[in-house]
Amino acid sequence: MKRVIPTEFPADPCLDSPVTLGAAIRAARTQASLRQEDAALCIGVALQTLVDIEAGKPGVSIGKILQVAQGLGVSLLVLPKSQCDVARRRLADLTQPPL
DSSP string, 62-81: HHHHHHHHHHTT-------G
Count of beta carbons in the 10 Å neighbourhood of residue 49:
18
Q: Which of 82, 81, 59, 60 is nearest to 69 (CA)?
A: 60
CATH, residue 26: 1.10.260.40
Q: What residues make up the domain containing 53? A: 18-95
Residue 2 has pLDDT above 90, yes or no: no
Residues 6+ apart with CB under 8 A from 93: none
Is residue 78 situated within a structural domain?
yes
Residue 58 has pLDDT above 80, yes or no: yes
Is residue 13 situated within a structural domain?
no
pLDDT, average across residues 72-98: 85
Residue 98 has pLDDT above 80, yes or no: no
Look at the chain and report how many structural domains it folds into: 1
Is residue 53 situated within a structural domain?
yes
Is residue 5 situated within a structural domain?
no
13 band by pLDDT with thresholds 50, 70 and 90: confident
Cβ atoms of 16 and 87 within 8 Å: the answer is no
